[in-house]
A and B are shown apart, each in its own frame.
Chain A
Amino acid sequence: MNNKKRLNRLLKFALIATCCFVASARGEVVIVVPADSPISSLSKAQVAKIFLGKSRRFPDGSKALPLNQSEGNLERDAFYQLVSGKSPAQVKAHWSKLIFTGRGQPPREAPSNNAVKQLLTSHRVNISYIDRSTADESVKIVVLK
């Protein structure tokens, strides 16, 4: 009986672990701009600046308006890790710093990949990130230099 319980628990753990693994392996985050945007490639550092409130412009001097995914979304955590190497808590601390020094407000947020795509296409200045599998013709994937 005890052994069976233990086995059940082990199986549950294995299942949860697999789910977590699948969830994290599923996503590859890509940086996206509206399909008609002139932007086609950026460096990680340039993207990080825009999403950490350090720059309001693309390298070509045109205006950039970042759109974040909601806190807790896997895409968001993976995105910041990719471009800035910062953990969710570090990103939170960074924005706290900007907010409470009156130096900036974090980018507007969208709850999902689909919501991002809908908002993104409303203007050419927008930039965001989504899971690669959800990219379609409404967006252009930015090549990371």
Chain B
Amino acid sequence: MAPIFMAGCLASQPTFALELSRPSYSFNGFGTLGTVYSDEDQADFVSSWLLQPNGAGHTSKWHAGIDTKLGGQINARFNEQFSAVLQVVVERQEDNAWTPAIEWANIQYQLNDNVSLRLGRTVLAAFMVSDTRLVGYANPWIRGPQELYQIVPITNMDGIDATYTLDFNDWRNSLQLTFGQTDQDLINDGELRARNGFMFSNTLEYEYASFRLAYLNAHIHLDTPDSTALLNAYDALGAALARIPGQEDAAAQASTISERYALSDAPIEVYSAGLRLEPDNWLFMAEWARVTETSALSKADAWYATLGYRLTSMTPYLTLAEVNGDTPQEPGITTSGMPTPVATTAEAMNNGLNQYLFQASHAQKSITLGIRWNFISNAALKLQYQHIELDEKSAGRLINGQSGFQLGSRVNTFSAVIDFVF
């Protein structure tokens, strides 16, 4: 009976041992259902300052379009070497519409156990959990600390990436190189283009610890109607001043300013380091990042630290985070000797320019208290309270500041989400 029985087994489960060499397909999904409250009614709290047109606080006290999203992913494995991934995510876009967007679409070639190549649209893993930033269930918090994670607001690049993984004893090292570019529509009809993007990251893992170093370099082109109007005004003023005798210097200053602060083919570099420790029931995560100064974007340093403790299905956590920027005090153009109406205009523009530069620095710090509850096996409920202190000359990560909005405000937010995977 044994041969018949075994034949039966083999017939009913023919793919098990062979599955590595046969084409297979699978579908996975993830999503978040959430709402955010903010007590600042003169500005909006958003999860991305470039990609969400409005949020909680001013637009509405409670807003459900900040964390809510739904993603689906098709995985295809053609053979042992080739596989492909298509991930589509529906979330609120820069035009306030819930339009599905292709987050990833790439083909992967597994050269051997150590090397894999991906071609197509892949994750831009600027920081430690960038690759899962949309998958709330895989992250401890509701959203990555914005002080750091919003330094690089784009999530993917079109190009090629290579990963080299090396195991030695209980250590594991993964080196990842990415080359690519991206075009991204922004709020207020803005546009971001990144060209010649190069990303390097190296992650070393040992037992419950992992340590990551990363470097990102790209040439960016960022246009928003506001910044374009301001810089065009300097160009126009420069042209007008050039015709006024004795104002040649001011004219030159105006065109220098316009050139200096235009984010056009501007080289940008981001350095970062991250540490993650999970001994027993503890979770400790910390990251630091520096973005170099380029045009209107000041040099900025950001960091956060999260401490959590797992109590069976509950994990309370605490996060401290800060971003600060060395915004240059820009004197603008010298108005002495100008005809009064021109001087008034120039002074107003100088003020506008300084305000723009301060706002581009986003300085703020915050403390967040939260709890994650794995109430069923594929979903987690998270509650999070965040107290934000804006720098005295900055709107922080808030947008849509109204006339009554005070730079340097204190803002309290409360968020509740359900993260799920299927």
**Interface, chain A (partner B; CB < 8 A):** 45, 49, 54-57, 63, 65, 67, 71-72, 85, 87-90, 92-93, 96-97, 99-102, 105, 108, 118-119, 121-123, 125-126
Contacts and interface: CB of A to CB of B under 8 A. Distances in A.
B137 A93 contact: yes
Contacts of A55: 167
A89 B73 contact: no
B280 A96 contact: no
Contacts of B170: 45
B75 A87 contact: no
Most buried by B among A55, A65, A89, A119: A89
A45 B171 CA distance: 11
Given A55-B167, A85-B280, A108-B16, A100 B73 contact: yes
B101 interface: no
A92 B75 contact: no
A97 B135 contact: yes
A71 B104 CA distance: 28
Contact of A102 (B20, B30, B108, B137): B108
A96 B137 contact: yes
B113 A56 contact: yes
A122 B17 contact: yes
How many B residues touch the partner, as a band? 35 or more
Nearest to A123: B17
Contacts of B6: 121
B41 to A, nearest CB: 36
Interface stretch (B91-99, B247-255, B262-270, B374-382): B374-382
A24 B207 CA distance: 27
B148 to A, nearest CB: 19
B106 A102 contact: yes
A65 B374 contact: no
B16 A100 contact: no
A126 B75 contact: no
Interface of B: 6, 9-10, 13, 16-17, 19-20, 26, 28, 30, 71, 73, 75, 77, 83, 85, 87, 104, 106, 108, 113, 118, 122-123, 131-132, 134-135, 137-138, 167, 170, 172, 207, 280, 310, 312-313, 374, 377-378, 380, 421
A91 B173 CA distance: 21
B9 A122 contact: yes
A90 B137 CA distance: 10
B16 A72 contact: no
- A interface, by DSSP: helix, strand, loop or mixed? mixed
B377 A45 contact: no
Given A93-B137, A102-B106, A108 B30 contact: no
B32 to A, nearest CB: 12
A12 to B, nearest CB: 23
A123 B172 CA distance: 28
Given A96-B137, A102-B104, A102-B108, A119 B13 contact: yes
Contacts of B104: 102
A63 B21 CA distance: 13
A45 B207 CA distance: 8
B132 A101 contact: yes
B9 A65 contact: no
B13 A100 contact: no
A65 B17 contact: yes
Contact of B377 (A65, A72, A100, A105): A72
B75 A96 contact: no
15 contacts: A54-B167, A54-B172, A71-B377, A87-B312, A89-B313, A96-B421, A99-B75, A100-B138, A101-B131, A101-B132, A102-B87, A102-B108, A102-B118, A118-B9, A122-B10
Contacts of A90: 310
A99 B132 CA distance: 10
B17 A126 contact: yes
B106 A122 contact: no
Nearest to B122: A102
A21 to B, nearest CB: 17
Contacts of A57: 113
Q: Top 7 closest A-B pairs, CB basis?
A: A123-B17, A102-B85, A89-B374, A96-B138, A101-B131, A97-B138, A100-B135
